[in-house]
């Protein structure tokens, strides 16, 4: 599984294609990182000018016009060096 190059909240620009033209190349905000499909990371994105979400692959993003992600996602327990609140080993089952 590939590591996603962009994170939630990043702004990306889509590549020009047969159905997308430079004049419609507005910026899209990444709403979610989806599971990999066809060997590439998938994203759910939304544009300010459109009223719907799109599912795009990592290959649809224009890397030159999009900023790379600086978001580092950590698990909540790792943020402050705390232990997780749920410990499966602490569960006691009576007979």
**Count of C-beta atoms within a 10 Å radius of residue 69:** 16
Which pTM was predicted?
Answer: 0.61
Q: For residue 58, tell me if it sits in a domain.
A: yes
**How many domains would you assign to the chain?**
1
Q: For residue 95, tell me if it sits in a domain.
A: no
Q: Which domain holds residue 79?
A: 11-90
Compute CA distances 33 → 10, 30, 57, 76, 86, whole Å. 11, 8, 10, 18, 25
Q: For residue 55, tell me if it sits in a domain.
A: yes
pLDDT of residue 44: 94
Q: For residue 20, tell me if it sits in a domain.
A: yes
User: What confidence tens digit (pLDDT) does each residue in 3-56 have?
Assistant: 668 888 999 988 877 665 555 557 899 999 998 888 889 999 998 888 899 999
Asked whether the beta carbons of 6 and 69 are under 8 A apart, the reply is: yes
Q: For residue 24, tell me if it sits in a domain.
A: yes
Task: Give first-to-last CA distance, the chain, whole Å.
Answer: 42
Q: For residue 83, tell me if it sits in a domain.
A: yes
Higher pLDDT, 77 or 63: 63
């Amino acid at each position: 599984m590939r590591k996603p190059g962009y994170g939630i909240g990043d702004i990306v620009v889509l590549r020009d294609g047969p159905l997308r033209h430079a004049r419609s190349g507005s910026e899209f905000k990444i709403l979610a990182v989806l599971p990999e499909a066809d060997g590439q990371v998938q994203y759910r994105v939304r544009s300010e000018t459109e009223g719907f979400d799109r599912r795009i692959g990592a290959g649809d993003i224009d890397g030159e016009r999009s900023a790379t992600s600086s978001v580092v996602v950590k698990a909540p327990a790792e943020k402050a060096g705390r232990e997780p609140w749920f410990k499966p080993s602490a569960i006691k089952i009576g007979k």
